[in-house]
A and B are shown apart, each in its own frame.
Chain A
Amino acid sequence: RKEVEQDPGPFNVPEGATVAFNCTYSNSASQSFFWYRQDCRKEPKLLMSVYSSGNEDGRFTAQLNRASQYISLLIRDSKLSDSATYLCVVNPATGKLIFGQGTTLQVKP
């Protein structure tokens, strides 16, 4: 079983749609969680951290369920510029972050 698993997609949605990505992780001792965004062949960039209480940043909402070892990212009112690959990232406190393979989002006009 992979340490971090994501549905690779692609998710094809129209502009204005709401889309949700899910991610599961295997190490129950993991301490912190993140979503990164990667545009085609560019460096991954931090989108947001994920807190136990859930957190929101504009159109983006991240949630963490420690009991189920599950992380989610919700994007509301999708824009064309949201098209990218979204990486679920887990810190198992071993020094190295564990990156999922990514979920590809294509927002269509």
Chain B
Amino acid sequence: DAGITQSPRYKITETGRQVTLMCHQTWSHSYMFWYRQDLGHGLRLIYYSAAADITDKGEVPDGYVVSRSKTENFPLTLESATRSQTSVYFCASRGTYEQYFGPGTRLTVT
């Protein structure tokens, strides 16, 4: 189906573990983004990508790594998860104008 998907939708992990969140879009949008949203707060940009092999930091990049080898995929890796990274993570993509979000991944770090 066309659109933007994220996996897993829910994840519980332990402190110190590496976790990768996946994001896939079928529109061939150039731009892709990763946001986190903590309970009761707004969206905060973690990383974004203007095209394959081009990535840049957002507001809160520390503790996260991204890659974009293909236009349609933009995985986000937490190298060593901490409790402060418990959050809802949204991936988004944008073509020339409007931006669309994936359904989110709820990550809990215990």
Contact = CB atoms under 8 A, between A and B. Distances in A.
B98 interface: yes
A42 B90 CA distance: 9
A96 B33 contact: yes
Interface string A67-106: 0000000000000000000010100000111011110000
Given A34-B98, A101-B42, A102-B42, A96 B48 contact: yes
A46 B42 contact: no
Given A46-B99, A102-B42, A95 B31 contact: yes
A57 interface: no
Secondary structure type dominating chain A contacts: loop
Contact of B101 (A41, A43, A49, A95): A43
A44 B91 CA distance: 11
Contacts of A34: 98-99
Interface in B87-110: 88, 90, 94, 97-104, 106
B22 interface: no
A34 to B, nearest CB: 7
Given A96-B58, A97-B99, A44 B43 contact: yes
Contacts of B58: 96
Contact of A95 (B43, B48, B104): B48
Interface in A27-78: 32, 34, 41-46, 49
Q: Which 5 residue pairs are nearest across A and B when measured between Cβ atoms?
A: A43-B101, A101-B42, A99-B43, A44-B101, A43-B104
